Amino acid sequence: MAIFDGLYLYEVVLLVCGVLMFLALLAGFLWMVFSNRNFKGLLLFFVLPIAMIGFPSITSIQIQDGTIEIEKQTTALQGNPQDTQARATLQAQVSKIEARPFKDPATVTTLARAQFALGNEEKAESTLNTALAASPNLAGAVELKNKIELTKNLKAQTAAAEAQPGDAKAREDLRSTYTKLSQLPLANPKAIAMLSRAQTVLQKDAATPKPSSPTRQ
């Protein structure tokens, strides 16, 4: 259930026990009312289950609001990767909830997307694998997986093109990956730096004069 998603075990136990206690007290209250017994003393006991229900319920709402805010902040950061304040705010929000036991693949994907945007690539990939294991065809998860793979490929292909500047296939592979990745919204500082590095390699190749074919006399 969505209300339990992201809650620690003790919070779930607290919520369930609070509900059961509330129902038991409610049954006792109704019995006293219909039996014309004094029920005023019983009313004080309702405070405990209400508190037991209220704490995890409020936490659950805060978690859901937090994931919505993370999604908004990630999109905003991708629109302006140089915004250090937005980056710090997103990092603080992610740090609050990333250790929680989420099950919903959409929520897990939102968290992975934020982690990747912040440059935490290993965490992002691990989190994303959890989402894909639960829902292999989830659109957001598949898109993020593609972005991560393109970033990895760009790094390897840039190094290959730098090591072998005369390798035409290496340059074409790099150009293809660079074009695909540059069209995607990015906030990951490592990926942005790698795009810049790849662009330099491609521009250097374009500026290198090609040997002219010998003219026939």
- Apex 19 CA angle, 5 and 29, nearest 5: 165
State mean pLDDT over 82-93.
Answer: 95
Find which of 24-38, 124-138, 201-215 is predicted with most confidence, using mean pLDDT: 124-138
What does the block give as tokens for 208?
């290198």
pLDDT at 217 over 50: no
pLDDT at 3: 80
Domain positions in the chain are 2-37+47-206
pLDDT at 185: 94
Judge whether 124 and 97 are in contact, CB under 8 Å.
no
State mean pLDDT over 94-121.
Answer: 95
pLDDT digits 0-9 by tens, 47-85: 999 999 999 999 999 999 999 999 999 999 999 999 999
pLDDT at 93: 95
Consecutive H or E run containing 215: none
State mean pLDDT over 23-34.
Answer: 93
For the chain, the average pLDDT equals 91
pLDDT at 41: 84
Q: What is the DSSP letter of 100?
A: S
